[in-house]
């Protein structure tokens, strides 16, 4: 792997490539070129080669990429070859929906704990998975006992920074924030904020433009990062 700093956009695109390779692998496809990969999934072949080039030489001249091998390499690069245990703060509609989302398992993430400060919810089991809601004051203890390494914030904006402070104090380095607010994190702590409202407003801008001025994506052209990666921001998480 090259010593230069890898951008977040690059790692986000790797996640997209992995999803595409998983589709090819499930279909029994053994090899594919960067051009064919780009054309099939509406990506950019030069960008694919550049992104993968940061991490090594994966292509074979005259063959392209071995789908299973490249899939395994990217899985390891993204750290998805080991399980991640997730805790969610906020047992409202969003937090409950996230706790019951089955898609996490496909990427080796498992939700193991749900937290809230509402006495009416603490101690209850909610959602399809009947997950127990813990008192947020037990956050640090549960993070240690459950081996949690990723936390999700699904609380109203006014409480988000306080919750993040608790999470950081418990030693968590990776946080996904659904509260519509910019949070201040310590050095060494990565916070990704997801805000659906921003994405919807961007779509509203598109709809507000005259038809002739709208730009659509041609086949094989690199899509805007906001279209291919779910790293935008979400609405109020209450």
Q: What gap in Å lies between CA 137 and CA 121, rounded to an integer?
A: 14
**Residue 133 near residue 122 (C-beta atoms within 8 A):** yes
pLDDT of residue 238: 42
Share of the chain above pLDDT 70, in %: 87
191-223 pLDDT per residue, tens: 999 988 888 999 999 999 888 766 555 544 444
Half-sphere exposure of 143 (CA within 13 A, CB side): 21
d(CA 230, CA 228): 7
Is pLDDT of 231 > 90? no
Q: Is the pLDDT of residue 179 over 70?
A: yes
pLDDT at 228: 39
pLDDT of residue 174: 98
Least confident interval from 90-99, 176-185, 226-235: 226-235
User: Cα–Cα distance between 89 and 95 in angstroms, integer?
Assistant: 7
Tens-digit pLDDT profile for residues 16-61 = 999 999 999 999 999 999 999 999 999 999 999 999 999 999 989 9
Q: Find all residues with CB under 8 Å of 186, minimum gap 6, and list them.
A: 168
Q: What confidence tens digit (pLDDT) does each residue in 96-112 have?
A: 999 999 888 888 999 99
At the top level of CATH, the class of 8-77 is mainly alpha
Q: pTM to 2 decimals?
A: 0.82
pLDDT band at 233 (very low <50, low <70, confident <90, very high): very low
Mean pLDDT score across all residues of the chain: 88
123 has a pLDDT exceeding 80:
yes
Mean pLDDT of 77-100: 95
Which CATH architecture group holds 84-196? 3-Layer(aba) Sandwich (3.40)
CB atoms within 10 A of CB 68: 14
> Within a 10 A sphere around the Cβ of 31, how many other Cβ atoms?
16
pLDDT band at 227 (very low <50, low <70, confident <90, very high): very low
Contact 215, 207 (CB under 8 A): no
Contacts of 123 (CB under 8 A, 6+ apart): 132, 133
Domains 8-77 and 84-196 share a fold: no
The pLDDT value recorded for residue 237 is 45
Among residues of the chain, what percentage have pLDDT more than 90? 73
- Per-residue DSSP letter, 213: G
Spatial distance between the Cα atoms of 170 and 83, rounded to a whole number of angstroms: 20
What's the confidence (pLDDT) of residue 105? 81
Sorted by where each begins, the domain ranges of the chain are 8-77, 84-196
* Contact (CB, 8 A) for 131 and 146: no
Give the per-residue SS3 of 62-104.
Answer: CCEEEHHHHHHHHHHHCCCCCCEEEEEECCCHHHHHHHCCHHH
pLDDT of residue 133: 97
Which whole-number Å values give the CA distances from 218 to 54, 113, 223, in the listed order?
Answer: 26, 43, 9
């Amino acid at each position: 792997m090259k010593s230069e700093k890898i951008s977040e956009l690059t790692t986000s695109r790797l996640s997209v490539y992995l999803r595409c390779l998983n589709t090819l692998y499930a279909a029994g496809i053994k090899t594919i070129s960067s051009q064919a990969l780009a054309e099939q999934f509406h990506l950019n072949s030069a960008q694919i080669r550049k992104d993968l080039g940061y991490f090594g030489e994966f292509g074979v001249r005259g063959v392209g990429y071995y789908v299973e091998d490249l899939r395994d390499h990217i899985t390891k690069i993204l750290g998805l070859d080991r399980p991640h245990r997730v805790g969610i703060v906020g047992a409202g509609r969003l937090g409950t929906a996230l706790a019951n989302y089955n898609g996490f398992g496909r990427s080796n993430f498992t939700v193991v704990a749900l937290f809230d400060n509402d006495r009416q919810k603490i101690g209850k089991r909610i959602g399809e998975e009947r997950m127990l809601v813990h008192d947020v004051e037990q956050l640090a203890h549960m993070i240690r006992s459950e081996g949690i390494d990723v936390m999700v914030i699904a609380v109203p904006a006014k409480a988000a920074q306080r919750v993040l402070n608790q999470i950081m104090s418990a030693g968590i380095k990776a946080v996904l924030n659904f509260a519509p607010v910019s949070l201040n994190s310590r050095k060494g702590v990565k916070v990704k904020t997801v805000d659906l409202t921003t994405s919807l407003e961007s779509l509203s801008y598109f709809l507000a433009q005259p038809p002739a001025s709208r730009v659509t994506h041609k086949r094989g052209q690199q899509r805007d990062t906001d279209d291919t990666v779910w790293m935008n921001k979400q609405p109020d998480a209450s």
